[in-house]
Amino acid sequence: MTTARLGINIDHVATLRQQRGEEYPSMALAAKTVFENGADQITIHLREDRRHIQDADVPVVKKVCDEYSQPLNFEMGCHPEIIDLAIKTGPAWVCLVPEKREERTTEGGLDLIDPENFKRVSEATKKIRDHGIMVSLFVEANLPTLEKANELGVEAVEIHTGDYARDFQDGMDLTPHLEKFYEAKNFLDKYEIGCHAGHGLTDLSTEKLLKNKLFVEYNIGHWIICQSVFEGLGKTTEKLVDLFKKYPVED
């Protein structure tokens, strides 16, 4: 039995720390806790404005990943100094994402149709992959964008699920989202590109996607940290792991 991989984004552990400028809560302890309770990888996003994860957190989290022989998924914009840090750190994955300083959180996928943006992403992708790091691109589930991603030879894409997640919360018809996700999955499977998902997901909105066997990896963060206020990080992780086991992608 093969289950989808669960990546846990621990950015908002750092958000709590940065609110007061304290040394706690510990990023290393957060990473260890989710691994001890069954997570498959850690995701962190070092933003240009350093609003949560800091440069010094990256090697700390990478060390914990190495201790548990699990991958680090390092999200970033195409910023030269952060790309250099990624190359120095050597995570298993770099996930390239769009980034605007004024946004609360990432608001959508990379625009690969615009020639200038495509050039920037292409150059960043090549530099990172030349150092033996796998690259995924955070994109929308539309074929023109996925075709451009395929041109770059990336190992995976992460489909932006933010709009789906909001419509799920609001009780809207999810059929248009699911149809796009299926279309994306079929295209990516054809070219042997990993089909990942992330943004805005909760346990319930993730369960619907798991039932439909749409993605091989899910990266979930904000909801996990919020739910941990009530149940603890370990218990919240354990429950998600159990949920994933209910819906194997392969028997």
Query: What does the pLDDT look like over 34-55, one tens digit per residue?
Result: 999 999 999 999 999 999 999 9
Give a yes or no: residue 191 inside a domain. yes
What is the set of active-site residues?
A: 45, 75, 199
Residue 103 has pLDDT above 60, yes or no: no
Where would I find the beta strands (DSSP E) of 83-145? 93-96, 134-139
Give a yes or no: residue 250 inside a domain. no
A 10 A CB-CB count for 65 gives 19
- Total of domains in the chain: 1
pLDDT, tens digit (0-9, with 9 covering 90-100), for 157-183: 999 999 999 999 999 999 999 999 999
User: pLDDT value at position 105?
Assistant: 47
User: pLDDT value at position 250?
Assistant: 79
Give a yes or no: residue 249 inside a domain. no
pLDDT, tens digit (0-9, with 9 covering 90-100), for 109-150: 999 999 999 999 999 999 999 999 999 999 999 999 999 999
User: pLDDT value at position 23?
Assistant: 94
User: pLDDT value at position 106?
Assistant: 53
Give a yes or no: residue 59 inside a domain. yes
The stretch 209-222 carries a mean pLDDT of 97
The stretch 184-212 carries a mean pLDDT of 98
Give a yes or no: residue 251 inside a domain. no
Structural tokens at position 47: 């933003």
A 10 A CB-CB count for 165 gives 22
User: pLDDT value at position 1?
Assistant: 76
Residue 223 has pLDDT above 60, yes or no: yes
Give a yes or no: residue 227 inside a domain. yes
- Boundaries of domain holding 113: 5-242
The stretch 201-228 carries a mean pLDDT of 97
Residue 251 has pLDDT above 70, yes or no: no
Measure Cα distances from 134 to 79, 118, 145, 232 in Å.
17, 18, 19, 32
Structural tokens at position 236: 């919240």
Alpha carbon distance 230, 191 (integer Å): 42
Give a yes or no: residue 206 inside a domain. yes
| CATH code for the domain of 234 | 3.20.20.70
User: pLDDT value at position 122?
Assistant: 98
Give a yes or no: residue 110 inside a domain. yes
What band does 107 get if pLDDT is binned at 50, 70 and 90? low
